[in-house]
Amino acid sequence: MTHSSLEPILRDRPVGRYAPSPTGDLHLGNLRTALVAWQSIRRQGGIFILRIEDIDRPRTVPGAEERMIEDLRWLGMDWDEGPDVGGPAGPYRQSDRDEIYEAALARLKAAGLTYPCTCSRRDLREASAPHGEEGPVHLGDCRNGIRGANPKPRNGASTRFRAGLDPVVEFNDRRQGPQRFDLNRLCGDFVIRRRDGLWAYQLACAIDDALMGITEVVRGGDLLTSTPRQIALMRVLGLPIPEYEHIELVMDDEGRRMCKRDGSCSLRSLRAKGLTPAETRELIMKQPILNHGDTETQRIEHKKF
C-alpha cells in the first residue's frame, strides 16, 4: 500500500488490533482491553495488529512505546503485524502516516465535506450553542466562510467535517447492543484536523482501521461515542466498516475509571512485586469493572433502539 493510497488491504481472516497511545505506562484497564481484543482474534485464528496511536505528539512520552511493547510481550501477548515486526498494512505508527491522512482529507475536501473553522469552545459557549451529549454543539457557523473580520487568524484554523449532511448513524455493538446516534445532537460538525496542524483522533483512527482491514474493534466503553463519527467518515469515503465491541472500564481502588494521568496501577508495579505473567493476566481479568451506564463509564447519554 502506497502512502497516498486509500485502498483497504484485502484480508481472508478476521483482523483485530490494539492501538495504545505512548503517553505513559499501561495500567490494568488498558491491559484488560488489550487481552480481550487479543483473545478474541486468537480464538478465531485471525490476524492481530499492534498500532501505535502517537498523533498527539506533544503528549508522547519518550520511551513509552518501547516500554509498552516490552510489557505486552512479558504479559504473553503476540501480534502478527506492528511497528516492531512490520507487515503489509504499515506504517504502524500514526506519526508515519501523514500522507495517508492527507489523501483522505483531500478526498473529503474535493467532495465539499470540510471547511475551515476558528471557533473555540469558548466561542460556542458565548454564542449560546446548544449543549449536546459531549458539550457545545458546533452549528456550522463557519461553513460559508470563517467568522469575523480576519480571514487568516493568528492561531490558524481547524478543519471540520460536515456531519450534518447525513447525521444519523446506526450500528450494533457486540457488547452494548444496537446503537443509534444523531451527530447533530451529539457533536455537530466535528474537527478532523486541529488548528495546530495535528490530525484529530476521529479521522486517523477511522482511516487506519479501514485501510488496515480491521474487521473487529474491541476498545473501552469511553470510546463508544467516537464510533458514530468514525463510521460517518468511513461511510462517505466508501471504506469498509468493522464490527465494534465496547467493553466495560476497570475501576481503581476508589471506584473511578483507571487512567494514566492519576497514576493508576501499572503493569510495571505488578512486575516489581514479583507476579508472574499468568498471575498478572488472571488478576487483570478479575479487576472490578464499571458497568455500561454507570456514571463514571458513560457520562454521555445516547439513544438505543
Q: Which residues are catalytic?
A: 260
CB of 11 closer than 8 Å to CB of 215? yes
Cell (9 digits) for 17: 488490533
How many other C-beta atoms are found inside a 10 Å radius of the C-beta of residue 130?
Answer: 12
Which of 102, 100, 95, 101 is closest to 23 using CA atoms?
95
Gap between the terminal Cα atoms of the chain? 39
Quote the CA–CA distance of 95 and 184 in Å, as a whole number: 30
How far CA 295 is from CA of 19, 260, 299, in Å, comes to 25, 19, 5
DSSP string, 9-54: PP-SS-EEEE---SSS--BHHHHHHHHHHHHHHHHHT-EEEE-B--
Helix (H, G, I), strand (E, B) or coil at 258: coil
